[in-house]
Amino acid sequence: MRLLDELRNKNIYIYPIKQLVITNEKNFNIDRIKSLKDLKTSSVYNSVLKCLEILDTKETKYKDLIAEVLLWMDVGKAGTKEDIKEWKKMGFNLFTHNLGSAEIYKKYSPNYNELIYVLIKTHGLIGQYIKGEVNLNTNKELYDLVKNGIIDKKDLREILLILNECIITEVSPKIYEDDKEIIEELVDKILDGNFEEELDIVKRIDMLNEGISDDDKIILNNIIKDEEIKRRIESIFNNTQLWFYKSALKSLGVSEQLKILLIISNYIDDINEITFSSLMKDIYLDYKNIKRINIYKERIIEKYLEEITFEQIINNQIKNNINITYYVKKEGTTLEFNFVFSKVAKKLIEFCEVAYGSNNLYNKSVLLLYDLFGFRKDNYDRFYNEIDYLETMNSSIMHKSKLLDFIVGENVLDVGPGGGALMDLILDTYKDKNVYGIDISSNVIEELNNKKIKENRNYNLVKGNALSLEDYFKKGSLDTIIYSSIIHELFSYIEFEGKKFNHNVIKKALLSAYNTLSNHGRIIIRDGIMSENTPRIIEFKNKNDINIFYRYVKEFKGRQIKYDQVSENKIKLDINDAMEFLYTFTWGEESFALEVQEQFGYYTPSEYEKMVLETLKGSKIVYSKAFLQDGYQEHLDPKISLYDENYNTVELPNSTYILVIEKCE
């Protein structure tokens, strides 16, 4: 590159170029990469090169000056271990690379210039202001340059606009184009000395998260009604710079974010900068070569924060947790915040990451995580394989399209919407419907929100409990409520009245739904079904497969499976026990450890109808039909033969049930 070659030939640039080239560190901002594998090529040096390439296309008399700023601006991220040790010994602030780089420049540049020093110190702060991480007055030193006659306002404006274009375009050309006008307005405000605008807490959190929902704004406003909480958060926002906030914390809820800021508020004496750099680096992993939030760590952090009250934080009386805690580290005027896991938790998380793709071994490791941290499984459902789960849910949508025939009214709720395919289908079929989705899994809500924005979908999402719909929707406000393959999960995973697999949890869920239904509104259920008791004989075509059955009997959580051994490869058992096993056997080893946690069938059709009419007073059954879902017979034919007790070949019984209930008051 011509510009870089010119700079290399000038002795005054030898030091910064040397540090950038020989650095042992791979410092990065996670927002700049799509996969963690990109870190192999995403060095500080490469970032500076890209900035210089952009600068090389500009016509300005200040090209050399801007190039010098670009060469020095990230030196605080670079250096060998020996250099870093020496810089820290000199008291340079390397936590905040702007400050560290400026001090390194001041110490080592043979051509020190106050203008360049201030530009290094403030570089990127306009972008940080747009992200909500700093107040505009952090750029006051730029105004002082004009005020003190060091440079003309017009010239500094030209320098700042080009410098910001280089820095922001290197990260993302789209971000620069989207923010170009805002950047120009901010530069003008700074150079006019207009620093009066301060943002309130809700606006700052909104900017830090690139937009939050109206529900989150209500949550925030309720929390900051407490004057002490409000005072502490405002003190952080008004007096400190935040580094890597969005990259590290955006996936957490607004309540959890506020708790982290409140924790930090106990340690901010003499602190000007707060960095989440190490948390940002720890919270991501690669999935199919795509950068993803490390869901194991995120859920553990969420649960830890949920169990801490605001009052405990304010009084600095946070309860000890042997598996996870937070730490703060101060260096100069900068505070670093992160979480630390116990050795057991850390090893288990690492095991989950390594075992991923190892089918049953992986699933078992995740179940250990549930046990260690006391997760309620349905709350963290799809924890083990979020992307593949949602893809599977979406691919099965044609089996569920029959449900659309029974939808009535304007307001439709999909309980446990999975990948959102059913909501999409409803919106595509009925343009005038108001479609809602509710799920207790944070992971599902996050993915659906991303999908909603990306695909411009007009559905409404609620993170909430399916057992208490009346907490989220007004009485009589919903016209259709759909449970598609969800009730068996409530039945299997929720400990209700002291036990799981409790039929009363189904009654509780349906009563909650019934209370929110309008008159003549409908509940549509698609789920597993049981058959009337009758014996069946399973013959395994591969004799070794009977060992899978033995393992299933030992590990199935729903009930005790009783059977008779007929021969080496034949077993005799009740038809419903046979089907529960065959559901799991169909899905294969990859899903075994999780499928044995669930009971798919829990009523016969007649039992279901009887329960509904007794529980939902004034209701009527509009539609009731059991059937064998496509795919089971085809998948099982190569593996087993099924007989009645007289060894007559029989087909698989019904697996799935559609029940439509109407409210008649």
CA angle 393, 467, 491 (to 5 degrees): 60
In whole angstroms, what is the distance from residue 540 CA to residue 642 CA?
9
Q: State pLDDT tens for residues 249-281.
A: 988 888 999 999 999 999 998 899 999 988 988
- At which of 500, 528, 556 does a domain end? 528
Phi, psi of 453 (to 5 degrees): -70, -45
| Predicted local distance difference test score (pLDDT) of residue 367 | 60
Q: What is the dihedral of CA 136, 138, 140, 141, to 10 degrees?
A: -150
Are 192 and 163 in a shared domain?
yes
Query: Residue 192: what pLDDT?
Result: 92
**pLDDT tens-digit profile of 369-396?**
666 666 544 444 444 344 444 444 444 4
The count of domains in the chain is: 4
Q: Domain check: are 244 and 191 in the same one?
A: no
131 shares its domain with 272: no
Between 428 and 384, the more confident residue is 428
Answer with the one of 470, 496, 528 that is the final residue of a domain.
528
- Summarize the confidence of residues 523-548 as an average pLDDT: 94
pLDDT at 31: 60
Distance, CA of 338 to CA of 281 (rounded, Å): 10
Give yes or no: residues 26 and 169 share one domain: yes
Is there a single domain that holds both residue 411 and residue 516? yes
181 & 56 share domain = yes
What is the per-residue DSSP string for 10-59? SGGGHHHHHHHHH-------GGG-SSGGGGGT--HHHHHHHHHHHHTT--
Q: Which residues neighbour 560 within 8 Å (Cβ) at sequence distance 6 or greater?
A: none
CATH number at residue 466: 3.40.50.150
Q: Which one, of 274, 258, 403, lies nearest residue 328 by Cα?
A: 274
Residue 350 inside a domain? The answer is: no
How high is the pLDDT of residue 380? Answer: 40
- Which of the pair, 182 or 27, is modelled with greater confidence? 182
Average pLDDT, the chain: 85
> Is residue 28 assigned to a domain?
yes
Whether residue 37 is predicted with pLDDT greater than 50 in this model: the reply is yes
Contact between 294 and 283 (Cβ < 8 Å): yes
Query: 402 or 656, which is more confident?
Result: 656
Asked if residue 614 belongs to a domain, the reply is yes
- For 288-343, write each residue's pLDDT tens digit: 566 677 777 887 888 889 889 999 999 988 888 878 999 999 888 899 999 998 88
What separation in angstroms does the CA of 523 have from each of 139, 184, 467, 518? 58, 55, 14, 11
Shared domain for 444 and 550, answered yes or no, is no
Q: Which phi-psi region, left, alpha or beta, contains residue 539 (left: φ > 0; alpha: ψ -120 to 50)?
A: beta
How do residues 214-230 score in pLDDT, each as one tens digit?
Answer: 778 888 999 999 999 99
Most confident option among 102-106, 520-524, 627-631: 520-524
Q: 242 has which bridge partners?
A: 274
Same domain, 516 and 415: yes
Last residue of a domain, one of 273, 307, 341: 341
540 and 522, same structural domain? no
Judge if 575 and 478 occupy the same domain.
no
**Whether residues 149 and 253 fall in one domain:** no
Which regions of 216-279 does DSSP assign to beta strands (E)?
Answer: 241-243, 273-275
Tell me which of 13-27, 142-156, 166-180 is least confident. Answer: 13-27
pLDDT tens digits, residue range 584-610?
Answer: 888 777 677 778 889 999 999 999 999
* Residue 318: domain span: 223-341
